[in-house]
């Protein structure tokens, strides 16, 4: 199949497929006589794997590691679990950061009268951060 068909079948845009090839996540597709990329079932499985991993928020680097582990039948599941647990730790860190941001904004919005007056604790807080 050509890149458009591979994109439709995998749910990965053609531009992203070319990007994945350029960074080595996906082997460069062989070319037809006309110079078009030709993809097969194995490529689709890899693209779907990448798409699923990316949808779970894994970095491109982690996806590369997971692809290597996927293709290594001698792998230890502990290695795969370690990658996933590191990712969970990163998600937890981001969640804590987002919760802190939310708490700060809730605090500031409760202090703001939200009326026609110009004084506003939200603006004051943002201006303090500038200094």
**What is this structure's pTM?**
0.83
- CA R_g for the chain: 23
The per-residue pLDDT for 130 is: 64
Answer for the pair 116, 102: CB distance below 8 angstroms, yes or no: no
Q: Report DSSP state, residue 117.
A: S
- Whether residues 13 and 47 share a domain: the answer is yes
Which residues lie closer than 8 Å to 76 by C-beta, 6 or more apart? Answer: none
- Residue 44, domain extent: 1-58
The pLDDT of 1-10, averaged and rounded, is 96
Identify whether 84 is part of a domain.
yes
CA angle 91/93/96 to nearest 5° reads 110
3-state secondary structure of 77: helix
The pLDDT of 88-103, averaged and rounded, is 98
Token pair in block for residue 112: 């703001």
Q: Can you give the CATH number for the domain in which 53 is found?
A: 1.10.1660.10
């Amino acid at each position: 199949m050509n890149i458009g068909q591979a994109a439709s079948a995998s749910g990965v845009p053609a531009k992203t497929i070319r990007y994945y090839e350029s960074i080595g996540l996906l082997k460069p597709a062989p070319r037809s006589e006309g110079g078009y990329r030709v993809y097969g079932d194995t490529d689709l499985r890899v693209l779907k794997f990448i798409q699923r991993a990316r949808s779970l928020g894994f970095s491109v680097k982690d996806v590369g590691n997971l692809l290597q582990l996927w293709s290594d039948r001698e792998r230890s599941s502990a290695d795969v679990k370690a990658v996933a647990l590191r990712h969970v730790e990163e998600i937890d860190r981001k969640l804590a950061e987002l919760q802190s941001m939310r708490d700060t904004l809730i605090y500031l919005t409760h202090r703001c009268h939200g009326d026609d007056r110009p004084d506003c604790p939200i603006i004051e807080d943002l201006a303090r951060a500038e200094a």
